[in-house]
Amino acid sequence: MPLYLQLSRAIEQAIATGELVAGDRLENELSLTSRLGVSRPTARQAIQELVSKGLLVRKRGVGTQVVQPQFSRDERLSSLHDDLLAAGKVPRTRLLGSRIGPLPAELADQVSLPADDQYLQLRRLRLADDVPLAVLTNYLPARFALDPAELERRGLYDCLRQHGITLKLAHQRVGARLATDAEAALLGETPPLACLTADRFAYDDFGRLVEFGRHIYHAAHYSIRSSLAV
């Protein structure tokens, strides 16, 4: 195994076992070369290997730091709250706002719904192990009469199931953009901040629209997995 890869694997193991935790500063290349007797290009290549994997980040004026491990999620019709629990993380939700009114015009046009139908709009901040992960905006038919406060304790899809609603199908579009200043502040960062985006239309087993979700995720902490086959 190349020497740089041996070094990167050793640092990766230290992160995996908790010897190095998120926010810890890694010693610089010069210190590594002096302590381990490796060349500076070898140390630089080992660090770059871990930067490429998303385990380390270089910050000007700070140095190289260990970053929060990414939460990787399969692309399927499921609740982020439930997926975090299944991954052994502690989800927490902060309700940012709720109101009842019509869908924004651009959304109503996409789903061909009457402009005067009433919807519950919810905006929430989702955290995983107290790390801000996503800003979630959802629109649901007002007839569901969900209690917004309940969504600080449970996932949205769990609440819908309690109302006898069975999710059957969803169409989702995934993209990326820079967060706004307000979004970056909610996610505990300063701009510019790269985010993944997901727009999801979910339907019940009768083909009726159950919810529209417009979500943004902290790209350094979140990724989406897909399985492809020929």
CATH number, domain containing residue 13 = 1.10.10.10
pLDDT at 184: 94
Print the domain residue range for 12.
Answer: 3-66
| pLDDT tier, 203 (very low <50, low <70, confident <90, very high otherwise) | very high
Give the residue, 152 or 111, on which the prediction is more confident. Answer: 152
Give the residue, 200 or 72, on which the prediction is more confident. Answer: 200
Whether the predicted pLDDT of 214 surpasses 90: yes
Q: Are residues 212 and 120 in the same domain?
A: yes
Whether the predicted pLDDT of 142 surpasses 80: yes
In the chain, the N- to C-terminal Cα span, in Å, equals: 33
CB within 8 Å of 38: residues ≥ 6 apart: 3, 7, 32
| pLDDT tier, 115 (very low <50, low <70, confident <90, very high otherwise) | low
pTM, 2 dp? 0.73
Q: Residue 160: which of 135, 136, 143 has the closest Cα? A: 143
pLDDT at 14: 87
pLDDT at 196: 94
Q: What is the mean pLDDT of residues 140-155?
A: 88
Q: What is the mean pLDDT of residues 75-99?
A: 90
Return d(Cα 135, Cα 124) in angstroms, integer: 6
Q: Residue 160: which of 89, 98, 79 has the closest Cα? A: 79
Q: Are residues 26 and 86 in the same domain?
A: no
Contact indicator for 200, 212 with CB cutoff of 8 Å: yes
DSSP letter at 76 equals S
Q: Are residues 98 and 160 in the same domain?
A: yes
Q: Are residues 139 and 213 in the same domain?
A: yes
23 is a domain residue: yes
230 is a domain residue: no
pLDDT at 223: 84
pLDDT tens column, 10-53: 998 888 787 888 788 998 888 888 888 889 999 999 998 888 77
| pLDDT tier, 56 (very low <50, low <70, confident <90, very high otherwise) | confident
| pLDDT tier, 230 (very low <50, low <70, confident <90, very high otherwise) | confident
Q: Are residues 137 and 181 in the same domain?
A: yes
Q: Are residues 149 and 83 in the same domain?
A: yes
Beta bridge partners of 92: 127
